Structure 1
């Protein structure tokens, strides 16, 4: 998350901008949102031809960028320079000192924007401290898995999309933490939905291609209630469509799910609201975890985690000769359903 994002967008709209924006961090989505606003919403269209430059890190250098930044705008008050994929720029000690010197004495008529994705600036460098001191450094952090449904729900609220109770969780489980894809899909649904229409599983299935019956969210429900027939049926269809059901994502989702079952088991007797808060889930779903904890007490829910680790290794080709994802999914489901009967390797 980028905690300053709302303020940045508001200030751009009000034409109140900083001389430098250095966006960095693991999550590209929030960086893209901020940079898009600076690129499209600050200068007027007729100003952009003379006073807006967009370049990419692999095509330029810090020396070229800073030289351009020291020039003055043509027939306007501001010029905007945007460096996308700034993580591809050569950034050794010389470049670091040059950027630090510019940051300390930036040109007021220039808005210099760096989109440095997928990694953070080295906090030990002097330039990082300088940018922080000038309030010009903005960190874009990845969302934790347990906060993703809330982020989706907040986006739906912002877009004025009314949703059925489980939709944000369904989208989170299926789409993972690809925020750009989630945002695009919600944008499509916003166009499709009629005013006041509720976004439910059927609409999601029809327009995003998520099958309500055959996705990891429904597999969790089937495993959590030990509905073997449903679990094996879902596993079969998920195995037939590995592109939309990557094995590594399936393992991650099940790991999170059964980790929460363990948390529930260790907190039995405490208020449901407290347990839900500790698990990072909507209290609406707590009854499902109560049922799963009854069927997978602590002894067995911890054993499921061991099974998931075993299949993580198998998915990487260790101890599973010539097994494709479809076979791995079926065997995984069998072992979880029968966790109270199978013998575990010591």
Structure 2
């Protein structure tokens, strides 16, 4: 949510809007904003009288709006927070009632809706009314290619200094579960000493991601055709399938070799342009350059076909009685020897 930092700053400064309607597919940003309004706006002694928290499945828009039209007791503001607002039924009558309130909100009320996991229908009049008064805030899922940058930015906010590749390593293994990522970074912040740099050892000890045997290192070994390292990592990952999901590994390698292909098609353009199109830090372009040299376009496109083949095998098609450990070893062999692999027509 692009406006999140401004929202948090305004809450801290007690400069709030009469209505906040948070909606969208990413619950994390909604949770952060609502938590700030719930815990950091009213003083503790005011909350007992002037703060109401309810849930969509337990109430209705009519009931919420009736509360919103009341005046605070022994204070200037009251806060009404509706969590899980996606469970509210928005009938035609309730939609009109909400529109009327949006057109004339009570200044002493801060009305907050946390509408998670989906967007409001942009065609509805009430959505347009909320948008018109700047009360509508969209929380969108972060694209996988932008996740490492988001993690790096969060580390900066927490004043955590990191070794190279750490944000990518966390992105690969924790996925786009922003709440989990934020929790893990919070724990690491408490563990790190002043000036200490977050590196692979910390990640391995406190999150459980091996600094040597992980999908990021496998990607690196395959990208440089380091045969011994690739087989060693594949063997370890095969013995620990719970910590190294086959699907996640395939997705990571697919993204990497897709970027190798993109790099090959953009040779001659500026590094900044290439990095921007690939959605990676320019720091990593040297790795893609090396992989592009070792895997000519014909071979890198063949790797993509191999990964698709193993995606099907991982789902049980064409790989009868093969364990994930066996699949990983065969996959690594085929990628390393891609110049010798005969593709099915």
Q: TM-score, normalised by structure 2?
A: 0.95
Deviations 1:261-299 (A, max 9, x none): 011111223333332222121122111111111111111
1:1-346 equivalences in 2 (<5 Å): 2-346=1-345
Aligned to 2:75, the other structure's residue is in SS state coil
The CA distance in 2 between the partners of 1:67 and 1:312, in whole Å, is 54
Distance 1:91 1:247, change over 3 A: farther
1:238, CA displacement in angstroms? 1.9
1:197, CA displacement in angstroms? 1.1
Aligned to 2:110, the other structure's residue is in SS state strand
Distance 1:91 1:334, change over 3 A: farther
Q: Across the two proteins, how many residue pairs are aligned to each other?
A: 345
The CA distance in 2 between the partners of 1:92 and 1:314, in whole Å, is 47
1:309, CA displacement in angstroms? 2.1
Q: CA RMSD in A?
A: 1.6
The CA distance in 2 between the partners of 1:93 and 1:248, in whole Å, is 44
Large movers: runs of 4+ above 6 Å: none
Aligned to 2:112, the other structure's residue is in SS state strand
Task: Indicate the larger mover: 183-192 or 90-99.
Answer: 90-99
Task: Indicate the larger mover: 84-93 or 4-13.
Answer: 84-93
Deviations 1:187-217 (A, max 9, x none): 1111111111111111221122110111111
Q: TM-score, normalised by structure 1?
A: 0.94
The CA distance in 1 between the partners of 2:16 and 2:179, in whole Å, is 25
1:24, CA displacement in angstroms? 0.8
Distance 1:92 1:336, change over 3 A: farther
1:335, CA displacement in angstroms? 2.2
Aligned to 1:83, the other structure's residue is in SS state strand
Task: Indicate the larger mover: 47-56 or 303-312.
Answer: 303-312
The CA distance in 2 between the partners of 1:256 and 1:94, in whole Å, is 48
Aligned to 2:53, the other structure's residue is in SS state strand
Distance 1:260 1:61, change over 3 A: same
Distance 1:19 1:199, change over 3 A: same
The CA distance in 1 between the partners of 2:245 and 2:103, in whole Å, is 47
Aligned to 1:10, the other structure's residue is in SS state helix
1:34, CA displacement in angstroms? 0.5
Distance 1:66 1:285, change over 3 A: same
What stretches of structure 2 of length at least 5 have no aligned partner?
A: none
Distance 1:94 1:237, change over 3 A: farther
Aligned to 2:123, the other structure's residue is in SS state coil
The CA distance in 1 between the partners of 2:164 and 2:175, in whole Å, is 18
The CA distance in 2 between the partners of 1:24 and 1:221, in whole Å, is 39
1:105, CA displacement in angstroms? 1.9
The CA distance in 2 between the partners of 1:86 and 1:244, in whole Å, is 35
The CA distance in 1 between the partners of 2:306 and 2:97, in whole Å, is 53
1:221, CA displacement in angstroms? 0.3
The CA distance in 2 between the partners of 1:107 and 1:22, in whole Å, is 15
Task: Indicate the larger mover: 91-100 or 105-114.
Answer: 91-100
